[in-house]
Structure 1
Amino acid sequence: MKQDPLILLAAGGTGGHLFPAEALGVELMKRGLRVRLATDSRALRYSGLFSKDMIDVVPSETVRSRAPWSLALTSLTLGAGFVVALNLLRRLEPAAVVGFGGYPTLPPLLAARLLRIPRVIHDANAVLGRANRFLSSRVDAIATSLPGVLDRDPGLSPKTTTVGTPMRPAILAAAAVEYVAPDSGGPFRLLVIGGSQGARVMADIVPGAIERLEPSLWNRLVLTQQVREEDMMRVRGHYDRLKIKCELAPFFTDLPAKLASHHLVVSRSGAGTVAELSAIGRPSILVPLPGSIDQDQFANAGVLAQVGGALRIPQSELSSDRLASEISALAAEPKKLTAMAKAARSVGRLDAAQRMADLVMKVAGI
């Protein structure tokens, strides 16, 4: 009996890459296709669509340094990953390979090129990531989350389609929850997150900012904060001393629901986070990760800041005093929070998974 066509999804092992891949996988399976995931070992800790028997771990390595020994190690590891991916694709015979960014996508996409298997990449950032930039001239189609990413590149723009960021079912459910601004004198729910790996700056700055709020706001505050294990004791001790109602954890498995239930979000501005804030429609204070070559998080935050859905604060300008001031001002203006939520929602795309699936099936000739 002939099996249904298989689509191999390739993604780096963090939520920002995996969650859009999962969302596309759900949509493709609804259409009767089979899916598998090629990734690195980090993905094994994530729950969701991809059970362990659906995941193929491919050796990969990120460029961590320009030192010759580091570049050599990266090249050797990616070379080994290419051999593994080549054998994997020969065995699976996928109808297409779809990459979602990160260095673990390089071996499967390059192997697919050698085997003449149709190839698509998706990039959720406002600036094309380094792995996707390398692959962009070697694939059949490019999907972007945001318009205009490759408009100035005549070699790539003709094969580029803006589809948005595919959203997993939990985000779509959260997007159905209407934003309700805090009542004057009622609970004010603040969510602080730092990306898939957490962020030390949040542990360093946020407790001091909370301490600088007016005591009247302390009594209203319901705080949920992502805190790395190594920072947990000092952060919890700070809030215990202030008698702040808080929930602290290194990782939240129910993050979509938490985004929907809070009045204000303080976060890094990874592509996945910005896309989810847009889809759900929640006001935010965004602190881009500094020092990245592409400044992608700064550009991502700008998408929401430009429409009035977020405040963008570079980390170099972030202090406990500044953050306390911004939180206090927003907590005192429920109408502004509502307007920010509406503005954020205006740039969200809830049909991105369907649009991405249409593109993949077209390229695969299904």
Structure 2
Amino acid sequence: MADAPNKTPLVIVAAGGTGGHLFPAEALTVALKERGIRVELATDTRAARFAGNFPADAIIEFPAATPSGRSPLTAIKAVMTLARGFFAAFSAIRERRPAVIVGFGGYPTVPPLLAAGLLRVPIVIHEQNAVLGRANLLLSNWATLIATGFPKVGKIPKGAQKRVAHVGNPVRPAVLSAAAIPFQPLTGEGKLNLIVTGGSQGARVMSDVVPSAIELLPENLRARLSIIQQARAEDLERVRAHYARLGVEAEVESFFPDLPTCLAVAHLVIGRAGASTVAELAVIGRPAILVPLPTSLDQDQAANAAVLVRAKAASAVLQKDFTPQWLADELTRRFADPTSLQLEAEAAKTAGYPDAAERLADQVFKVARGEWSPVAVEQT
């Protein structure tokens, strides 16, 4: 720990890029601060713009980039940016000397965690997906502990498997509040509340397919729909106009700050299968139709969706098969068998870990005190 006058332990959480990384970092931060531990957020300059309400004591910004794409020049620029981020993070961590640093995946975590490794600061990485991401794979040999969101995680190196602990995916306090709202069964001629999400930035495929699928439904079923849909800013007007032409009750926005509350009132959710989406569906307990992002690295979203499918809590469909006619048929089936929605909602709860933030905080606390020891965990 640092030789600063304040002897309260300091933990640095490193997260950036998307809400999928920032949300679990936020949940851990809340859990650690409730234990009287100081927490600072290390994040890239882009994500720092969205972290204004993050409950950390301070935010450490540094440049970062993802070395992907077909252009060698772009890859070289990304590596140079990561190098600048490394030196900035090295200076900040050397000054603070935290008890432990916790990374939540994505290339923005690489500079601070590599810097921590060189400074001999204990490292914890948390993998939210059912397949170890490339940044976490790069950092796995440096980590004292690899915490996982799912019981079985693919691509963990054989030599690292004894340093794995399954804790679940931490969810924000707003999700825990939403989880207390019971599922309301669809009965009689009541409205079916349909929530359509597409990740932190929406998804074009949802704007293309869902309204067209609704148009294929018979008028009596369209009249029983209440839709909340997330769409990209450039798609908002056409999606709104489509629903207005059909006379369907719909609220379409690019961002919903109260999305957990929206999920809580849903009878059915249509969305991607990012780790945060899957974790929130499971903790809140809502049935879903999941369309994994086909371009996701290592097909991690397909692996995430498979967890809820195996639990009989969701259906998963390849994006190429996610057509208006397929979705119209699926919605018609759900209207005809409303009991299946309640059964899936109950099944989803069995796959959730509402105490994941506390479980991760327990592990981080042990690492910070030097009390954590490797435990063999079976992986696939």
Same fold (TM over 0.5): yes
**Residue 44 (structure 1) aligned with residue 53 (structure 2):** no
SS at match of 1:3: coil
Report 1:333-348 matches (<5 A).
Answer: 333-348=337-352
- List per-residue Cα deviations over 1:25-67 (Å, max 9, x = no partner): 000000000111111222422554337x722221100123143
Q: Say which is worse superposed, 41-50 or 246-255, in terms of deviation.
A: 41-50
SS at match of 1:295: helix
Q: What displacement does 1:152 show?
A: 7.0
* Aligned residue number for residue 349 of structure 1: 353
* Aligned residue number for residue 12 of structure 2: 8
Letter in 2 for 1:45: F
* Aligned residue number for residue 95 of structure 1: 99
**Residue 139 (structure 1) aligned with residue 143 (structure 2):** yes
1:301 pairs with one of 301, 305, 311: 305
Report 1:31-110 matches (<5 A).
Answer: 31-40=35-44, 41-46=46-51, 48-50=53-55, 54-110=58-114
* Aligned residue number for residue 174 of structure 1: 178
1:247 pairs with one of 240, 244, 251: 251
* Aligned residue number for residue 128 of structure 1: 132
Whether the 8 Å CA contact 2:106–2:135 is kept in 1: the answer is: yes
2: CA distance, partners of 1:210 / 1:3: 59
**Number of residue pairs the alignment of both structures matches:** 365
In structure 2, do the counterparts of structure 1 residues 47 and 334 end up closer, same or farther at CA, with 3 Å as the change threshold? farther
- List per-residue Cα deviations over 1:6-38 (Å, max 9, x = no partner): 110001231110000000000000000011111
SS at match of 1:178: coil
2: CA distance, partners of 1:66 / 1:138: 28
2:164 pairs with one of 145, 151, 160: 160
Report 1:251-290 matches (<5 A).
Answer: 251-290=255-294
Whether the 8 Å CA contact 2:137–2:156 is kept in 1: the answer is: no
Letter in 2 for 1:124: Q
* Structure 2 portions without partners, runs of 5+: 371-380
Q: What displacement does 1:70 show?
A: 1.6
Whether the 8 Å CA contact 1:18–1:43 is kept in 2: the answer is: no
Whether the 8 Å CA contact 1:150–1:160 is kept in 2: the answer is: no
TM-score scaled by length of structure 1: 0.97
SS at match of 1:75: helix
How many percent of aligned residue pairs carry the same amino acid? Answer: 50
Q: What displacement does 1:292 show?
A: 2.5
Report 1:313-332 matches (<5 A).
Answer: 313-332=317-336
- List per-residue Cα deviations over 1:260-291 (Å, max 9, x = no partner): 01110000000100011011110000000002
Q: What displacement does 1:293 show?
A: 3.1
Letter in 2 for 1:249: E
RMSD: 1.4
